[in-house]
Chain A
Amino acid sequence: MTLLSVTSRTVLRGTCPVLDHVSFDVSAGELIGLIGPNGAGKTTLMRSALGLIASTGFSSLAEMTPGARGRAVAWMPQAREIAWPVSVHTLVALGRTPYLGAGQTLNAADIAAVDQALGFLGLEGYRDRTATQLSGGEQARVLLARALAQQTPLLMADEPTAGLDPAHQISTMQTFAALARGGQSVIVSLHDLGLAARHCTRLIVIDAGKIVADGAPASVLTPERIRTTFGVTAWHQTTEHGVIFQPLDVIT
């Protein structure tokens, strides 16, 4: 089943394309890492696919009504914004917004979804804590729980591991991997190629607004590709501890 279909999607800033005729499809059960250097267009690609910025070309999500889109995809922007000192439970329950009509309150199914999301991330003990008083890593987990409570077939996250310690980075990726095994799909933009190589089922490399490689991590992360797109050398090996990818030096 195709969860997202993007064809020839283009975003212009002035006359300069920041996203240039991008096409890809996402089917169920994939954990897609979106990698590329700073300014390559990773965030633009995701926001354009969601229909949040003016674009040309086709994206199946952008064609939906706002409410239907909210039930088809959950979006975690890079900025981890929590504007008010609300409780963790209230914050996670915001993920049910697309399911509520005007004036409707949370029903049993909504509450179950919130509890399930909290349980999935081990946040049961945090229910009544004030979200703004949590540490950065805890806030990131709470915001992930909000996205899970939305119970969408597709999850898009913009640099969800940025600013997290190694344990939180790994557990975030493991959460995504578990979702993918359960049949959901996740698109996640990453800067840590090691995490991408280890956890993703598929990598899309974007450079200067164009998709330059798309496929399984082993086939995408070639020395050639790493050199031309990222300008670094890397050590890449499949070991008894799984795939290990470590960038080494900048090519000058």
Chain B
Amino acid sequence: MNRVIILLSLLVALLFCAALVLGPAQISPLVSLQALLIDDQSPVTLVMREIRLPRAILAGIIGASLGMAGAAMQGYLRNPLADPGLIGVSGSAALGAVLSIQTGLAASVAFALPASALAGALVGVGLVLLLAGPRGSSLTLILAGIAISALAGALTSLVLNLSPNPFAANEIVFWMMGSLADRSMVHVWIALPLIALGAVALASLARGLDALTLGEDAAEAMGINLKRLRLTLIFGTAAVVGASTAVAGAIGFIGLVVPHILRPFVGARPGHLLWASALGGAVMLLIADIAVRLVLPTRDLKLGVLTALVGAPLFLHLIYKTRRDGL
């Protein structure tokens, strides 16, 4: 377990540095790192501090968010197919963002887009809580999440459908593919506090998720407060996924695939899987974001497209392996 955490931490550090020194502006690694640390008023410092650093930080924290939320959701539902999007947060955050693009708010007011995405996420979570009730079972939570996701998806399609402005529609479609291009430190400051708060909430679930291995009844009898666990899970997931979607758009498959890959390496313990998946998610998104810059640097390949392209076959492979092992 500890070896896995150390290995993943090293990988994150390595990839974070790689994300800083790789980019369309051909700057040698040493010069770029030096420019990052020492402000010499040069354009290199500007590129490093205003373009590459926020991008690398966002890739790290958003990947960690998605991985951790995925591990928490799978642990709570005791189902390896669960995904952080299941409770409707990403769908409603996307709807908020789409509305701000469509109404022109995103173009006229600075940071209206992430703000309205967060508002969308908040409304979505509120509705899910209202629908699922404070004492409901995991089943009502899933059903409420599916209903809210479907509604948010339908409303997003409606906005696209009725959009009189093809440029706005184009922008919406691209935004929904998910990307980290052209993000600034302000995006980091919007996302970081919420993600930190949500990560602390999710990390506190470790013991409860471990106990849930024995089922809800046994866990409750061992002193786990299921009602509080559920609320913490919903708010934690909403904070990390809402903030991630608000600044980067919809990035799929990380929350689903990363916990699945790492589960055998932490002895399948849902509590240990939380931190491992956070690090694993950061690794995966950093790799993906480096890849979109290296594979098609001129065509602005979208991050969400790449994670789905790589994630889906990987997931199929995992399913095939699981079937073969008879687990």
Structural contact, B268 and A67, CB atoms closer than 8 A: no
Q: Say how far B79's CB is from chain A's closest CB, in angstroms.
A: 8
Structural contact, A97 and B267, CB atoms closer than 8 A: no
Structural contact, A50 and B221, CB atoms closer than 8 A: yes
Taking CB atoms, residues of chain A closer than 8 Å to B211 are 94, 97
Q: Say how far A118's CB is from chain B's closest CB, in angstroms.
A: 16
Nearest A residue to B327 via CB reads: A85
Q: Say how far A210's CB is from chain B's closest CB, in angstroms.
A: 24
B212 located at the interface, meaning its Cβ lies under 8 Å from any Cβ of chain A in the complex = yes
Taking CB atoms, residues of chain B closer than 8 Å to A77 are 215, 217-218
B224 located at the interface, meaning its Cβ lies under 8 Å from any Cβ of chain A in the complex = yes
Chain B interface, DSSP helix/strand/loop, else mixed = helix
Nearest A residue to B270 via CB reads: A84
A83 located at the interface, meaning its Cβ lies under 8 Å from any Cβ of chain B in the complex = yes
Structural contact, B222 and A81, CB atoms closer than 8 A: no
Taking CB atoms, residues of chain A closer than 8 Å to B221 are 50, 52, 69-70, 73-75
User: How far is A90 from B217 in the complex, measured between Cα atoms in Å?
Assistant: 19
Interface string of A47-79 (1 = CB under 8 A from B): 100101000000000000111011101111101
User: How far is A212 from B327 in the complex, measured between Cα atoms in Å?
Assistant: 46
User: How far is A92 from B211 in the complex, measured between Cα atoms in Å?
Assistant: 11
Q: Which of B204, B222, B268 contacts A85 (CB 8 A)?
A: B268
Q: A52-B221, A85-B327, A100-B207 are in contact. Are A90 and B214 (CB under 8 A)?
A: no
A167 located at the interface, meaning its Cβ lies under 8 Å from any Cβ of chain B in the complex = no
Structural contact, A66 and B224, CB atoms closer than 8 A: yes
B220 located at the interface, meaning its Cβ lies under 8 Å from any Cβ of chain A in the complex = yes
Q: A90-B267, A97-B223 are in contact. Are A84 and B78 (CB under 8 A)?
A: yes
How many inter-chain contacts with C-beta < 8 Å in the A-B complex?
81
Q: Which of B204, B213, B219 contacts A91 (CB 8 A)?
A: B213
Structural contact, A83 and B215, CB atoms closer than 8 A: yes
B183 located at the interface, meaning its Cβ lies under 8 Å from any Cβ of chain A in the complex = no
User: How far is A82 from B212 in the complex, measured between Cα atoms in Å?
Assistant: 9
Structural contact, A143 and B207, CB atoms closer than 8 A: no
Q: Which of B204, B212, B224 contacts A83 (CB 8 A)?
A: B212
Q: Which of A67, A84, A98 contacts B213 (CB 8 A)?
A: A84
Structural contact, B223 and A66, CB atoms closer than 8 A: yes
User: 8 Å CB contacts to A: which residues of B189-225?
Assistant: 204, 207, 210-215, 217-225
Structural contact, A98 and B214, CB atoms closer than 8 A: no
Q: Say how far B273's CB is from chain A's closest CB, in angstroms.
A: 9
Of B212, B222, B268, which is in contact with the most chain A CB atoms at under 10 Å from its CB?
A: B222
User: How far is A81 from B270 in the complex, measured between Cα atoms in Å?
Assistant: 15
Q: Which of B215, B223, B263, B269 contacts A81 (CB 8 A)?
A: B215
User: 8 Å CB contacts to B: which residues of A168-203?
Assistant: none
A102 located at the interface, meaning its Cβ lies under 8 Å from any Cβ of chain B in the complex = yes
Structural contact, A132 and B327, CB atoms closer than 8 A: yes
Structural contact, A94 and B215, CB atoms closer than 8 A: no
Q: Say how far B76's CB is from chain A's closest CB, in angstroms.
A: 10
Structural contact, A94 and B222, CB atoms closer than 8 A: yes
Taking CB atoms, residues of chain A closer than 8 Å to B220 are 52, 66
A146 located at the interface, meaning its Cβ lies under 8 Å from any Cβ of chain B in the complex = yes
User: 8 Å CB contacts to B: which residues of A84-118?
Assistant: 84-87, 90-91, 94-95, 97-98, 100, 102
Q: Say how far A129's CB is from chain B's closest CB, in angstroms.
A: 12
Q: Say how far B326's CB is from chain A's closest CB, in angstroms.
A: 9
Nearest B residue to A87 via CB reads: B267
Taking CB atoms, residues of chain B closer than 8 Å to A67 are 223
A10 located at the interface, meaning its Cβ lies under 8 Å from any Cβ of chain B in the complex = no
User: How far is A142 from B327 in the complex, measured between Cα atoms in Å?
Assistant: 19
Q: A: which residues have CB within 8 A of B?
A: 47, 50, 52, 65-67, 69-71, 73-77, 79, 81-87, 90-91, 94-95, 97-98, 100, 102, 132-133, 143, 146, 150
Which A-B residue pairs are the 5 nearest by beta carbons? A70-B223, A75-B221, A81-B215, A83-B78, A84-B268
30 intermolecular pairs with C-beta atoms under 8 Å apart? A47-B217, A66-B223, A69-B221, A70-B223, A71-B223, A75-B217, A75-B218, A75-B221, A77-B215, A77-B217, A77-B218, A81-B78, A83-B213, A84-B263, A85-B327, A86-B213, A86-B267, A86-B269, A90-B267, A94-B211, A94-B214, A97-B207, A97-B211, A97-B219, A97-B222, A98-B223, A102-B204, A132-B327, A143-B214, A150-B222
Instruction: Apart from A81-B215, A83-B78, A94-B210, list 14 A-B contacts with CB within 8 A.
Output: A50-B221, A52-B221, A75-B217, A75-B221, A75-B222, A76-B218, A77-B215, A79-B215, A83-B215, A84-B78, A84-B268, A84-B269, A86-B267, A91-B214
